[in-house]
């Protein structure tokens, strides 16, 4: 039902979406580990609408109240724009849930695959694949 809701939502918005491949200028597998998925919810602290990747930073609080700031890589602003995003789509203070893949080097960096907004909309977010 969730999926059907998403479909109805997108269609009712009257959006024409011209999607283009969202591959990156670098090997995904060299930077991220698809076998290490990450699923985090937190508050957006900064958005960088920049090339080669848009990024947002997320404060995530653990059970003890400790806050960690994560760096999430998105596709390029060009790819995001072609897929309906704008530079205003995410903003500081937004509470979002992100699914993605962790960086291989163990830093608090991840590639965002989907972003779920506070109102429940879940959106494709990035350059989460290498060419096959």
Partner 1 sequence: MKKVLFAFVAGALALPAQTPTTTPTPRQNAVAPAGGSVDVATQPAAGGGRGRGRGPERPKGPTPHMQDGTVDFSGVWQGGGPIGDIAQGMPKGAVIPMTPAAEKIFKSRQSKDDPEANCLPTGIPRIAPYPWRIVQAPGHVFILFEGNIHSYRQIFVDGRAHKEDPDPTWYGDSIGHYDGDSLVVDTIGFNDKFWFDFAGHPHTEQLHTIEKYTRKDLGTLDVDTTIIDPGAYTKPFDLHFTATLRPKEELMEYICQENQQDAKHMVGFAGLN
- Tell me, residue by residue from 31 to 60, as one string, x for binding to partner 1 by CB under 8 A and - for no binding: x----xxxxxxxx----x-xxxx-x---xx
- Tell me, residue by residue from 60 to 99, as one string, x for binding to partner 1 by CB under 8 A and - for no binding: xxxx-xx-x--x-x-xxxxxxxxxxxx--xxx-xxx-x-x
* Minimum distance of partner 1 from residue 17's CB (angstroms): 5
* Minimum distance of partner 1 from residue 112's CB (angstroms): 11
Question: What residues are paired with 55 via a beta bridge?
Answer: 48, 73
Instruction: Tell the residue number behind the tokens 């291989």, with chain if given.
Output: 104
Distance, CA of 54 to CA of 89 (rounded, Å): 12
Which residues contact residue 82 at a Cβ distance below 8 angstroms, ignoring those fewer than 6 apart?
Answer: 18, 19, 20
């Amino acid at each position: 039902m969730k999926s059907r809701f998403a479909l109805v939502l997108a269609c009712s918005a009257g959006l024409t979406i011209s999607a283009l491949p969202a591959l990156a200028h670098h090997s995904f597998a060299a930077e991220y580990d698809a076998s290490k998925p990450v699923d985090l919810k937190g508050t957006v602290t900064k958005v960088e609408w920049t090339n080669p990747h848009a990024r947002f930073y997320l404060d995530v609080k653990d059970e003890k109240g400790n806050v960690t700031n994560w760096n999430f890589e998105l596709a390029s602003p060009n790819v995001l724009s072609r897929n309906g995003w704008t530079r205003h789509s995410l903003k500081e203070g937004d509470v979002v849930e992100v699914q993605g893949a962790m960086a291989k080097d163990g830093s608090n960096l991840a590639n965002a695959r989907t972003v779920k907004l506070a109102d429940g909309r879940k959106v494709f977010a990035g350059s989460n694949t290498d060419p096959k």
